[in-house]
Amino acid sequence: MINTYQTSVAAPPVPPRLSRSQQVLFPAPSQSHSKSLLRFLAGVVVLHLFLSVGGFIYLKQNDTMHPSQLPSGEGKVAYRSSGKQETSNRALARMVVWQQTAHKSGYLQWDMDHSVLKSVSYYHNMWLTIEQPGDYYVYSRVTFSKGDPKLPLVSMVKLRESEKREEKIVMRAYCNLDSSSVSQLCTATQGELVTLEKGNQLSVWLPDLSLVNYEDGATTFGIFRL
């Protein structure tokens, strides 16, 4: 007789099943947050557009603004219909010569009906009288159509402090008539920066007034304040 018995063996523990990897989920943005972001971006775009348009309008107005509307110190230029510009407070003189035929030395006389004077007066149609002190550019152009075998062809700009003061030479220019030249013309041109006081007077002196070419534009004299 076989004695049989039932043995019980404990079953090994079953390892737990591995769970699937867990996914990290970010919360979706709320609808109110999206609206705020869109409003911010729209505001930035509108602000940029506003600044661009405003800057363009400002520059356009400055380009078309009349000089009298500019800030102080920027409206000194007066515009003429011819397109030329002149500073409104600048003293100047552009003289047109008056023809003289006398064979003598003396000062050139000026045609006051065709000359231009601004803040500058004249004395006996020969002297320019300074009204505004300052630094002036003085220029002279004298054209000669005849020569003198004994005297050089010279023009001198003379200055005196007032009507009763002694004059002195501040500029001098020469030219030479070439005997082989067909035109028989020469021009003595000069220009210099001169500091002048109120009441000073300037004029152009020549050794022989009959040797000058008095055609339009050939002989002139002028000054302008810098």
Across 50-54, 170-174, 213-217, least confident range: 50-54
Which residues, in sequence order, are CB contacts of 72 under 8 Å at separation 6+? none
Domains of the chain: 105-225 (2.60.120.40)
pTM here is 0.59
Q: For residue 74, what pLDDT band results from cuts at 50, 70 and 90?
A: very low
* pLDDT digits 0-9 by tens, 5-49: 444 445 555 555 555 555 555 555 566 667 777 787 888 787 877
Centre a 10 Å sphere on the Cβ of residue 117 and count the other Cβ atoms it contains: 19
109 or 83: which leads in pLDDT: 109
Q: What is the rounded CA–CA span in Å between residue 149 and residue 138?
A: 30
